[in-house]
Amino acid sequence: MLSADGLRHAFGRVVALDDVTFRLGPGQTLAIFGPNGAGKTTLLKVLAGVIRPQAGSAQVAGGRRAIGWIGHHSHLYDQLTVRENLVFWGSLYGLARARRGARVVAVLERLGIADRADQLVASLSRGLAQRVAIARALIHDPPVLLLDEPFTGLDLAATRELRGLLAELRGAGRVLVLATHNVDEGVELATDVAFQRRGRFVHFAPRGAAGPAAIAAAYQRAVADA
């Protein structure tokens, strides 16, 4: 459903992707751990079709329409209401008008913000705005989710909620790719784990039964080697 073959990309002298290759099928969740600057965001952007890699290729079955994206930014328009934002993004993702209204309500309810539908995004607290951002990513019910440091800035309760939501989404045969620099956040969700350092995948394997501690230790070792 999602594949990468020999991806290479550099920004001037900085290598962001160095021969990255992998394949993911339905039901798999890949957690990519790596320090800042390792190239995790670049990898996600190549998968999403935003960056054209200098070498190699990446495919996502269904194209961009099949991707739900949570990036570093919320991609919400401050001066539009929550509903207006969701309708805008929903229609870009091809949601027909008939289905759209119901979908917006459903996703708002799932995230517990249905009562804020007609408020301007600018007037929401950060935590609520983040929920709207997640709603935006899910509006078209995508089979593939690409998440770039989605837990950043979330408090403990919100983190737990997001983890629960992701676990639920994972269950329906979706493919998730989650990039983070914090091992604790993504480990339990993952079926497969990769460590990325200076553009390279220095480890890529099924998680199996390894718990957070084991993974964290392996990560430290992988990252410590120069």
Partner 1 sequence: MTLLNRGRLITLLGLASLAGVYVRALAFTPTERLQGAAQKIYYLHVPAAIWTETAMILVGVAGVFYLFLHDARLDRFAAASAEVGTVFATIVLTTGPIWGKPIWGTWWTWDARLTSMLLLFFLYVGYLLLRGAVADPELRARYSAVLGICGAALVPFIHFSVYFFPTLHPQPIILKPSAPSLPWSMLVTWLYALAAFTLLYIGFVVQRYALSLARDAAGGAERAHG
Partner 2 sequence: MRELVTQAWIVARKDLVLEFRTRTALFSAVVFTALVLVVFNFGRDPTAVATIDLAPSILWVTFTFAAMLTLNRAFQLELENQALEGLLVAPLSRASLYWGKLLANLVFVAVVEAVGLPLFVLFFNVPVAHVLGPLVGVIALATVGFVAVGTLFSALLIRLRFAELMLPVLLLPFLIPPLVAAVQVTAHLLGGRPLSEVAGWLRLLAAYDVTFVSLATVLFRYTVDE
Dihedrals phi, psi of 122, to nearest 5 degrees: -60, -25
- Here the tokens at position 72 are 């570093």
Q: Are 68 and 42 in contact (CB under 8 A)?
A: no
Is the Cβ of residue 68 or residue 183 nearer to partner 2 in the bound state? Answer: 68
Q: Are 62 and 143 in contact (CB under 8 A)?
A: yes
Smallest separation, CB 10 to partner 1 (Å)? 9
Taking alpha carbons only, the member of 113, 136, 134, 135 closest to residue 124 is 113
Is the Cβ of residue 23 or residue 65 nearer to partner 2 in the bound state? Answer: 65
Candidate list 80, 117, 158, 202; residue touching partner 2; CB under 8 A: 80
Site stretch for partner 1 (CB under 8 A), options 9-17, 149-157, 176-184, 191-199: 9-17
- Here the tokens at position 116 are 């804020």
Q: Supply the DSSP symbol for 182.
A: -
CA 173 to chain CA mean position, Å: 16
Smallest separation, CB 51 to partner 1 (Å)? 11
Residues 31-60 close enough to bind partner 1 by CB under 8 A: 54
Where does residue 98 rank: exposed (0-12), middle (13-18), buried (19+ CB within 10 A)? exposed
Candidate list 76, 124, 129, 147; residue touching partner 2; CB under 8 A: 76
12 contributes a contact to partner 1 by CB under 8 A: yes
Candidate list 14, 92, 167, 205; residue touching partner 2; CB under 8 A: 92
Is the Cβ of residue 12 or residue 208 nearer to partner 1 in the bound state? Answer: 12
Rg for the chain (alpha carbons), in Å? 18
Distance CA 188, CA 203 (A): 17
Site stretch for partner 2 (CB under 8 A), options 62-70, 177-185, 192-200, 217-225: 62-70
79 contributes a contact to partner 2 by CB under 8 A: yes
Smallest separation, CB 89 to partner 2 (Å)? 7
Query: Strand, coil or helix: what is 151?
Result: coil
CA 88 to chain CA mean position, Å: 20
Is the Cβ of residue 89 or residue 151 nearer to partner 2 in the bound state? Answer: 89
User: Contact residues for partner 2 (CB under 8 A)?
Assistant: 45, 48-52, 63-65, 67, 69, 71, 73-80, 84, 88-89, 91-94, 136
Residues in contact with partner 1 by CB under 8 A are: 11-13, 54
